[in-house]
Structure 1
Amino acid sequence: MDSNKKYWKGLEELNRTPEFVEKNKNEFAEPIPIEEVLSGSGLSAKTPRRDFLKALGFGVGAVTLAACQKVPVHKSIPYLIKPEEVTPGVANYYSSTYEGQAILVKTREGRPIKVEGNPNDIFAKGGLSAQAQASVLDLYDVNRLKDPKINGTDAGWDAVDAFVIKELAAVAASGKGIRLVTSTIHSPSTLAVIADFTAKYPTTKHINYDAVSYTGIIQANQNSFGKAVLPHYNFDKADIIVSFGADFLGTWISGEEFTRQYVSNRNNESLEKKKMSRHIQFESGMSLTGTNADNRFPIKPSEEGSAIISLYNAIAGTTLPGTKKALSKTTDTAITLVAKELLAAKGKALVVAGSNDVATQVLVNAINSLLGSYGTTIDLDNPSKQYAGNDAAFVEFVSELNRGDVGAVFFLNANPAYDYFKAADVTAGLKKVRLSVSFSDHAEETANLVTVIAPNHHYLESWGDANAVEGYYTVVQPTINPVYNTRQAEHSLLVWSDNAVKDYYAYVRNNWDKNLFPKVGLSGQKGWESLLQTGMIKTTPVAAGTYSFTRDLNAVAQTILDHSNSLSGGKFELQVYQSQAIGDGKRANNPWLQELPDPVSKVTWDNFAALSIKDIKDLKLNEGDVIKVTANGYSVEVPVLAQPGQATGTISIAVGYGRVNAGPVGDNVGKNAFPFYSFRNGTFQTTAIAEFKTTGVISPLAQTQTHHSYEGRSVIREASFTEYKKNPAAGSGSEGEHKDYDKTTSLWDSHDRPVYDWVMAIDLNACTGCGACVVACNAENNIPVVGKDEVRRRREMHWIRIDRYYSYNDNGNSEEAVTKELEIDKLDNFDRVSVVHQPMLCQHCDHAPCETVCPVLATVHSSEGLNQMAYNRCVGTRYCANNCPYKVRRFNWFNYWNDSRFDNYLNNEHTQLVLNPDVVTRFRGVMEKCSMCVQRIQAGKLKAKIEKRPLKDGEVKMACQQTCSANAIVFGNRNDPNSEVSKALASERTYYVLEELNVKPGIGYQVKVRNLSELEA
């Protein structure tokens, strides 16, 4: 452990700003003036509660009716359990699919209330992203359309069918084109429906359009190897990983899958074998993946191409043009050493790039070919089908619209009026189309422009299937009857094309019987029931082949340099990216996602312009100052964020914000950054030259990063892989530090735990900081959303938070640098900081200081090691929060579930249907905190008791643990020496946060280990 290292959550904490010092004089969040409380104006209310619920609130009736009917119309098979009917108080689990990933859906009394990963899923083995966890809430969104519409007026399905069929006949007679614009579809049955529709109307063309595109990779593989596919990457087979701007642990292609693969070479099991992969990241803005890298190098977008060219030259021994152009000494030296490491790991190396530029991806292909990556870390023969968008095809479609060549257009899960960079062209073009149809279940930006809205089911109301990776097929089955008068888009297409099979359920069954079951030897009703129970089938994968690269690269390199030159003009360079929570903006109306702190910035409810610390100092800006950013002829006004690790001279802004027809939660939250895109060399580009000016406006950001201060106490412990190999206890303090604390005299009597001693282990080397556990905890434990204003007052209610710590060495030691010769002016630029993520929740201390100060015994210790809350005893003194050194207790200042001031978030009759009935909903004025999902513990114990057997290890999983693709959280019974948690806590890397206080926490952490380079220049 490096005693010279200093950790800090944010610049205000590092610099001890007056505002930070003043705020942290108080243990609690800012109080609201009493006059505001009495007047009820603590937060603005747009409308009285009764009127609000009429306009925006959800009626219970529709959902209750849907839940009480037989679920579903065609019999679904629950996962493992097959109840004859819904039993009150007993949960049923159904297998289904979320965006190609096999999931389990928990229902209570016919209502889906929780989504979990399927343990047999090939992507994350039971893990799920924050967006997947939050998807169940979208089912209960009152802003979903309740009926189809023609020209903005509600209509019945018969009227819609008659109108569309008549108009299609007229379009077909005219000879004009019919276009079906969708986001990537990898459902075999949906693709078959589209094929049948095209057979009926031969002028139909299907266009895959993804707002965040991977066309560059697909086209590069076509140019390089004659295979227009998105590869299936295998990060678990890579000993060294080099990424140029690819946020592969976050939003790039398949974040949950890559996280599981990546961590398998860096977790406890791997380290015990003295094995650890090495990861180097080159990027402009600090990404989630960048925070987890062993070495990270900030570069400008204009430097990325030169860096990749330089890497190729160092590996191949060639002299492609632009080798040294625009590269700093630090980056140039790093590239040279990285090339040596890649060559040393030939066959077990992987280079990836986040660029959507075809030439850049072609050069990356050439590098991977030289490294022998194809057939090992890259699989082109069992490709991913998660993205298939064709940028050039969509641009041509917009041109067709405006030329008047299109007679009919259908939009399925595509919203180009919002996320196309020239949305005005889409708006103008749709005015020239005779028939325009949207299958959106919301009246979103594109749907508001079309003739007909035929609202699609939510996926939890639907039948279907998916084939996200070659050879892997999953099923989608409904878990509730349609809440509103919606209809599956596939069913509509079958009706409009006069298909012989118009019922989509029957169509899916037929497709599986004829085309998919024969691949795995299943058939008939028995095969169908087996599919519904398991949720998936897997065919034998094709052997991954090796591929040689033979193209001349001089022209490719020149194309890359031309693009780089277009970005480097002495001005700022803009990079747009996806945030971990909001993504491309399709789920902007989901309050769980809006209030999820960004893993890096910890900002909620907004996007912003991230600038380097040096640039902010030079420009005399302050965080929260609103600037007007202009690029590609488009401008937005966004607040500034001072981001350590940001490359000097660059600006990063997230897309997915700035919606105007998302719903009351997502409307006008942040600004739309999609218009900063450009179309170049056949693909959408995400970088541009930018300039900006101050506006004089201040818009404080709702950040959570320094809400809970430890007052300088050490809570993070790190070691290098070299140190770990010499001493597995390096950095943990177990050389005697916490063993001595075990021997200290205690003022408390020890608690007896005759059967269970529930504890947890968290591996800092596995946790990536993604935040999925936060949303999973929200869903499981009925945690309210409070909104931006309350978050700014430090009143977010999350029971688990992910603390993000920056660090550097005070003595100037360049431990994180590639070579010892590289000196870094950290205090000036902050561009080479390292980052550690630490999940923090109630530690369930054996000597819990909260328990001794509660005057009403609202918080007590159980005989199973849990620190429990009796909410009906709590009178809100907050003494317990004052005494908690971990700052993990939450005081609910308002009755967030029933106060009209929070109607836009979760407080309405509709979203309350997602509540877990096993967990009490807390009224205002009490303390809340992690309960270790005690309801799950009790359910597991009850099941074991009924079956007259002991509770098995792993049978009870916490919500945060279950969703973690990295398996960073392990929970279990410490009394069982063979339990997974006992083995994890026995690791030499284990330490306990603030163990010097002798509160005896029940959660052990494993030291963060970084695989720093041992190579010398």
Structure 2
Amino acid sequence: MSESRDVAEKTGPPEHWRTLGERAGSKDFREALRDEFADGAAEWKHDPQGRRHFIKIMGAAGALATLAGGCYTRDEEHIVPYVEQPENVVPGNADFYATSFPLGGYAQGVLVESQQGRPTKIEGNPSHPASLGSTSTFMQASVLDLYDPDRSDTFLDDGVPSTWQDFVAVVQTRRRQWRQSGGRGLRVLTGPVTSPTLAAQLRALLAEFPEARWHVHAPVAAPERGDAGDGNAGSPPTKPVYHFDRAEVMLSLEGDFFQYGPASVRYARDFAEGRRVRSRETEMSRLYAAESSPTLMGAQADHRLREVARRLGASVPAGAGGNTAPNWTAREQHWIDSVASDLQGAGSEALVVAGRTQPPVMQALARAMNEALDAPGTTVERVPSPEARPPTAGEENGLRALTDAMQRGDATDVIVLGENPAYTAPADIPFAEALGQVPFSAHLSTHRDATSRQCQWHVPRTHFLEAWGDARAFDGTASVQQPLIAPLYDACRSGHQVLAALRGAPGQTGYDLVRRYWQRRSGGGSFEQFWERVLYRGVVPGTGSTGSAADDGRSKSTRTARGMTQGPSRSLPAQQTGDGGASERQRTAPADTSSGGSAAAASSAAATGDTAGGTAPLLRMGTARRAPTSADTAAADTTAAAAAAETTTSPPDTTSQSEPRTTTNEQASGRSTNLTLLLRPDPSIRDGRFANNAWLQELPKPLTKLTWGNAALMSPATADERSIETGDVVRLAYRGRTLDVPAMKMPGHADGCVTLRLGYGRPHAGYVGSEATLYQTHEEDEIDVTSS
């Protein structure tokens, strides 16, 4: 870092750089850059004769190969492309079909390219509000999952191959018992459900068996948290929909709306729209971001505050009362005052967003600030939650309640549809152990993962390109999921078919169920015309809750340009007072402000052990050891999933390394070694569900450029305090559990905290996913992890 600062002072204006080594131009970096290519490759750069000689040899070799091939006469054979030419199939011409890509329960519209009946490429659907013709990395890579050789292709009954007919026979026997007890003991666990047809099936099942229960588990919640409505009794749950293209000034509090969530693609497009400067407009929108771990949204910010997540809870509330928060430096206070001034000047065209990791109090505060700025109706709208059973429906329908019921013996029949809770369950919820004690259990999944191995029955699941279905987008717009290819394995079934079997109608297909649902709701006119129009465009007209599917005339490109005024300087959130000022906005904030304050100083939420927002306070770090190879830095251990999970595997072979000391230098240095642990989804494999996708493992992660693994991200200052360099393997200890993981210095990371990505260390992930795990936790350090 000192070399980087010296270079910055000498070179003057800032230049683009990707790593600290490139920034400093160190000798080690130049040597690594020189050795990037094969030995001798650089020698031909100044030797045109050598290059010309090499090309001559290659040309001669090609000519000889041509002559040799021409001297060989192969037997004449005739092939027939088709016995019967398929209708509308022209070899070499691709067909495109509109369908929906489901992720986290929400639909994202796509157009799938099909070459002679085989899906090969995915693009965005311009008619769908969640994509508007663009795609995410998950959409692009999902086509590879269709052809994954590790996909399950066989029914398993206690590990023994079986059939659909055998599974249906067992379900029919259980149904007779459910009729007598009203479904007592029957539990169905799903992820977030926005599918109208699937939700109707689940409600019908609960109506038939009143004592049955439906539980929902969301390993990675959407960034836009919902709430319980307007506070009136019986009001439906709502969620926010943001309009970044209409906002002049934005404040993000630990938000990463451009990377995660069902509207990430749309939000990124809208934000880019607001940043365009056209001939008649001389201003662009402004983004402030306060975050602890660097994100794509923070990277786009004009002014960014590096702040530990647990101090964010104290920053904005303190500003709400007009008082300076304790431990704020002068630069930090200036940053807060500048944000308040700009938000007031923007008025109704301001927007405040809080990320999913923020506690409910911060979510409520962001909503209150938007209301004080009169933003609802312009930059933010509250719409009915597309989820059939939102997480706010009550803890009695969550994963913990299901685990408690299994431990008590109240849950005797458990059906898990799609999710992998044996891996994704929090550490203090012993779901996997409890599931193994259930008399009858079944798991529908594309792979035989950790949850399938705890269940009696494993049901192979269809890929979304093989099955009929439907789902809603972030704004409620419904779309039909139509298959492009028949299931590659005859045994695969969809969630619709499994629920139909639970209801005693195993012969119903997904096509029948989805078509029947929308036929009842198509209104007047010809249903066939309605159905063809829905399949052609990929969306069901009139189902969206907002005008987000089309430009409503209020985007930046069509708004009347107005001067961005500056209101009186106040702390956040500020009520707009007076006339709002008439002068042009001139305040600026520091481009990057250090967090300041003690890293161990916890807020009240952290002091009480509140980790609901994804922040675990008081993480202790031991001294470091060197990594054996540079590859170990890129391929890390089990990140947060193993550090916080209740699974333990054998430790790696570390005989060639010195054992990392668990003692600290706290007494010698006089500083605290307590750090804050930040758990975040991985930008490539999310919560681990894409761990077996080689395309995504090979894809460099944003900002870090890591591939095929994980690392503990920390600020250069935090690493330097502990004499840690990028590539050192550090031992993290939290609540009695330890984790050895390579460290990586991350410019822009807040001091006093460490970021670990979810998704690695996943057992039974497949050939590709298993190869991405090198480090494991230590068996002797296993203890019970409970919530505080």
TM-score of Structure 1 vs Structure 2, range by shorter chain:
0.7 to 0.9
Question: Is residue 469 of structure 2 the alignment partner of residue 460 of structure 1?
Answer: no
How big is each residue's C-alpha offset from its partner over 1:692-728, in whole Å with a ceiling of 9 and x where there is no partner? xxxxxxxxxxxxxxxxxxxxxxxxxxxxxxxxxxxxx
- Compared CA separation, residues 676 and 330, structure 1 to 2 (3 A): farther
Cα deviation for residue 385 of structure 1 reads 4.3
- For 2:487, which of 479, 482, 487 is the aligned residue? 482
Paired residue type of 1:250: Q
1:440-589 to 2 correspondences below 5 Å: 440-484=445-489, 485-499=491-505, 502-515=508-521, 517-518=522-523, 523-539=526-542, 561-566=603-608, 570=672, 571-589=674-692
Give SS of 1:13's match: helix
Cα deviation for residue 118 of structure 1 reads 0.9
The question of whether the paired residues in 2 share the 8 Å contact of 1:224 and 1:362 is answered with no
The question of whether the paired residues in 1 share the 8 Å contact of 2:688 and 2:760 is answered with yes
1:586-601 to 2 correspondences below 5 Å: 586-601=689-704
Question: Is residue 17 of structure 2 the alignment partner of residue 8 of structure 1?
Answer: yes
Paired residue type of 1:373: A
1:230-249 to 2 correspondences below 5 Å: 230-249=239-258
The residue number in structure 2 matching 1:731 is: none
How big is each residue's C-alpha offset from its partner over 1:517-553, in whole Å with a ceiling of 9 and x where there is no partner? 22xx554222212211111123175679xxxxxxxx9
Cα deviation for residue 610 of structure 1 reads 0.5
- Compared CA separation, residues 273 and 196, structure 1 to 2 (3 A): same
The question of whether the paired residues in 2 share the 8 Å contact of 1:386 and 1:469 is answered with no
- Compared CA separation, residues 492 and 409, structure 1 to 2 (3 A): same
The residue number in structure 2 matching 1:277 is: 285
Paired residue type of 1:277: S
- Compared CA separation, residues 543 and 298, structure 1 to 2 (3 A): closer
> In structure 1, what is the Cα distance between the partners aligned to 2:83 and 2:754?
53
Paired residue type of 1:293: A
The question of whether the paired residues in 1 share the 8 Å contact of 2:713 and 2:756 is answered with yes
1:84-163 to 2 correspondences below 5 Å: 84-99=87-102, 100-163=107-170
Paired residue type of 1:228: P
- Compared CA separation, residues 504 and 167, structure 1 to 2 (3 A): same
Cα deviation for residue 27 of structure 1 reads 6.3
Cα deviation for residue 464 of structure 1 reads 0.9
- For 1:657, which of 760, 769, 774 is the aligned residue? 760
> In structure 2, what is the Cα distance between the partners aligned to 1:534 and 1:125?
12
How big is each residue's C-alpha offset from its partner over 1:544-576, in whole Å with a ceiling of 9 and x where there is no partner? 9xxxxxxxx9xxxxxx95204347765111111
The residue number in structure 1 matching 2:641 is: none
- Compared CA separation, residues 26 and 138, structure 1 to 2 (3 A): same
Cα deviation for residue 107 of structure 1 reads 1.0
> In structure 2, what is the Cα distance between the partners aligned to 1:195 and 1:258?
33
- Compared CA separation, residues 542 and 493, structure 1 to 2 (3 A): closer
The question of whether the paired residues in 2 share the 8 Å contact of 1:464 and 1:508 is answered with yes
- For 1:615, which of 693, 718, 726 is the aligned residue? 718
Cα deviation for residue 262 of structure 1 reads 0.7
The residue number in structure 2 matching 1:286 is: 294
> In structure 1, what is the Cα distance between the partners aligned to 2:120 and 2:712?
36
Paired residue type of 2:134: G
1:83-482 to 2 correspondences below 5 Å: 84-99=87-102, 100-170=107-177, 173=180, 176-214=184-222, 217-219=225-227, 227-269=236-278, 273-314=281-322, 324-354=325-355, 355-381=357-383, 383=385, 385=387, 388-389=390-391, 392=395, 393-422=398-427, 425-482=430-487
Give SS of 1:428's match: helix
The residue number in structure 2 matching 1:549 is: none
Give SS of 1:86's match: coil
The question of whether the paired residues in 2 share the 8 Å contact of 1:171 and 1:407 is answered with no
Give SS of 2:351's match: strand
> In structure 2, what is the Cα distance between the partners aligned to 1:17 and 1:117?
43
How big is each residue's C-alpha offset from its partner over 1:18-74, in whole Å with a ceiling of 9 and x where there is no partner? 321212234625799xxxxxxxxxxxxxxxxxxxxxxxxxxxxxxxxxx99999xxx
> In structure 2, what is the Cα distance between the partners aligned to 1:168 and 1:422?
34
Question: What RMSD, in angstroms, separates the aligned Cα atoms of the two structures?
Answer: 3.2
The question of whether the paired residues in 1 share the 8 Å contact of 2:496 and 2:509 is answered with no
Paired residue type of 1:84: E
- For 1:627, which of 727, 730, 747 is the aligned residue? 730
- Compared CA separation, residues 224 and 290, structure 1 to 2 (3 A): farther
- Compared CA separation, residues 541 and 70, structure 1 to 2 (3 A): farther
Cα deviation for residue 109 of structure 1 reads 1.9
1:539-938 to 2 correspondences below 5 Å: 539=542, 561-566=603-608, 570=672, 571-667=674-770, 669-670=772-773
Aligned length: 609
The question of whether the paired residues in 1 share the 8 Å contact of 2:726 and 2:745 is answered with yes
Give SS of 2:754's match: strand
Give SS of 2:333's match: helix
How big is each residue's C-alpha offset from its partner over 1:368-399, in whole Å with a ceiling of 9 and x where there is no partner? 22111222222113555499345832221211
> In structure 2, what is the Cα distance between the partners aligned to 1:212 and 1:339?
31
Q: TM-score, normalised by structure 1?
A: 0.56
> In structure 1, what is the Cα distance between the partners aligned to 2:469 and 2:513?
9
The question of whether the paired residues in 2 share the 8 Å contact of 1:627 and 1:639 is answered with yes
Paired residue type of 1:188: P
Cα deviation for residue 482 of structure 1 reads 0.6
The residue number in structure 2 matching 1:943 is: none
When structure 1 is superposed on structure 2, of 385-394 and 137-146 the one drifting more is: 385-394
- Compared CA separation, residues 69 and 98, structure 1 to 2 (3 A): farther
> In structure 1, what is the Cα distance between the partners aligned to 2:268 and 2:84?
39
Cα deviation for residue 211 of structure 1 reads 0.3
> In structure 1, what is the Cα distance between the partners aligned to 2:127 and 2:19?
40
Paired residue type of 1:420: A
When structure 1 is superposed on structure 2, of 124-133 and 627-636 the one drifting more is: 627-636
The residue number in structure 1 matching 2:5 is: none
The question of whether the paired residues in 2 share the 8 Å contact of 1:417 and 1:424 is answered with no
> In structure 1, what is the Cα distance between the partners aligned to 2:746 and 2:262?
25
The question of whether the paired residues in 2 share the 8 Å contact of 1:454 and 1:489 is answered with no
The residue number in structure 1 matching 2:565 is: none
Paired residue type of 1:535: G
The question of whether the paired residues in 2 share the 8 Å contact of 1:622 and 1:640 is answered with yes
Q: TM-score, normalised by structure 2?
A: 0.72
The question of whether the paired residues in 1 share the 8 Å contact of 2:348 and 2:374 is answered with yes
